[in-house]
Amino acid sequence: MMSALMTLTQANYHSTEANRDYFSVSQFKRFEQCEAKAMADLKGEYKEPTTNALLVGSYVHAAFESDEAFNDILTQNSDAIFKNNGSKYADFETADRMIETLKNDNLSMFALTGEKEVIMTAELFGVPWKMKADNINLDRGFFSDIKTTQELHKRYWSNKYEGWVSFIEAWGYVLQMALYRLVIKANTGKELTPYIVAVTKENPCNKAVIHFDESRFTFEEEYLEMRMGRFKKVKSGEEEPSSCGNCIYCRQTKKLADTIEVGALLYE
C-alpha cells in the first residue's frame, strides 16, 4: 500500500523528502540531463553545487515576493553578496538594476500582481507533481513567473525542438508553464493564462512580458507524456538509471572499462 504523500510547506518544499514524493519541473529537467545524477540526488548521495547565477535569480525573485523574503536572502548569503567594504559584488549590482527595471515598468508590475509563492500539487502523467508559482492572480485569470537572462533575443540550438530557439524554449520554460497550467487547473478548475516577465543582465537592462501560443502547450504536454513513462520507472526503481557520462556527477564517479574510437567524442 502506497504511503501518504507529505504535506508541502514553504519550509519543506525543496527538501529531499519532498522530491522523493513528488515530481517537479526542475526534477524532470534533472532526469532529462542525467538519470544517474537525478537518482543520486534523490538518494542523498549527490547535491548539485549552488552557482552564483542561481543565487542572483533567487535574489531577484525575493525582491518581488516580500521584504521579509528579500531580507532573508541578504542575511543568509551576505558573504556572497557583500564585499568587505559593504558594497555589493558586480553580479548583485546588476541584479539591483534588474529589480529597478521591472519596478519602474507598469506592465511588468501589473503582470506580477497576485498571490506570491503559491504551492500546489496534482497527479498528472501517473505521478504526483508539485509546483510553486511566483505569482497567481485567479481574479484576473493569469499566473506569471520572473525569468532573468543574458539578453532577450539570443538564440540557442535545441535538439528537442530540432532548431534554433529563444532562451524561453532553451531553458524549458514553455514546459514549465504548460505543467503549471495543468496543476492549477486540477486545483481550481480554471485554465489560467501564463506570462513570463523577463529582464536581462545588460546595462541598461532590457525587459519583456511574454505570452504563449496555445499550440506550444499541446506539444509540451505530449512531450511530458512521452518522457514520463521512462522517468517514472527509473524513479520507482523498476529500471536502472542511465548515465550521461559528462555531467559533474558522472565525471566524479566514472570508471573506465574500455577504449573509445575518435568519432565517439562527437556523437556520444
Count CB neighbours of 104 within 10 A. Answer: 10
Mean pLDDT of 240-264: 93
Mean pLDDT of 195-210: 97
Question: Mean pLDDT over all residues of the chain?
Answer: 95
User: Is the per-residue pLDDT at 110 higher than 80?
Assistant: yes
Where b means 16+ CB within 10 Å and e means fewer, 165-203 reads bbbbbbebbbbbbbbbbbbbeeeeeeebebbbbbbbbee
In the chain, what percentage of residues exceed pLDDT 90? Answer: 93
User: Is the per-residue pLDDT at 44 higher than 60?
Assistant: yes
pLDDT for residue 20: 96
Mean pLDDT of 117-143: 97
Task: Using the structure block, give the residue that is written with the C-alpha cell 516580500.
Answer: 66
pTM over 0.85: yes
User: Is the per-residue pLDDT at 2 higher than 50?
Assistant: no
pLDDT for residue 3: 62
Strand partners, 144: 135, 195
Q: How confident is the model at residue 53 (pLDDT cuts 50, 70, 90)?
A: confident
Q: Is residue 194 reached through a cis peptide bond, with omega within 30 degrees of 0 on the bond before it? A: no
Show the beta-strand stretches assigned E in the chain. Answer: 115-124, 127-137, 142-149, 156-158, 163-165, 193-200, 207-210
pLDDT for residue 268: 65
Residue 56, all three cell numbers = 542572483
pLDDT for residue 50: 79
pLDDT for residue 1: 36
Q: Between residues 48 and 174, which one has the greater pLDDT?
A: 174
Sign of CA dihedral 7, 9, 11, 14: positive
Domains in the chain, ordered, with CATH?
16-49+105-253 (3.90.320.10)
User: Is the per-residue pLDDT at 98 higher than 90?
Assistant: yes
User: Is the per-residue pLDDT at 114 higher than 60?
Assistant: yes
Mean pLDDT of 41-69: 91
Residue 100 amino acid letter:
E
User: Is the per-residue pLDDT at 254 higher than 70?
Assistant: yes
In the chain, what percentage of residues exceed pLDDT 70? Answer: 99
User: Is the per-residue pLDDT at 264 higher than 80?
Assistant: yes
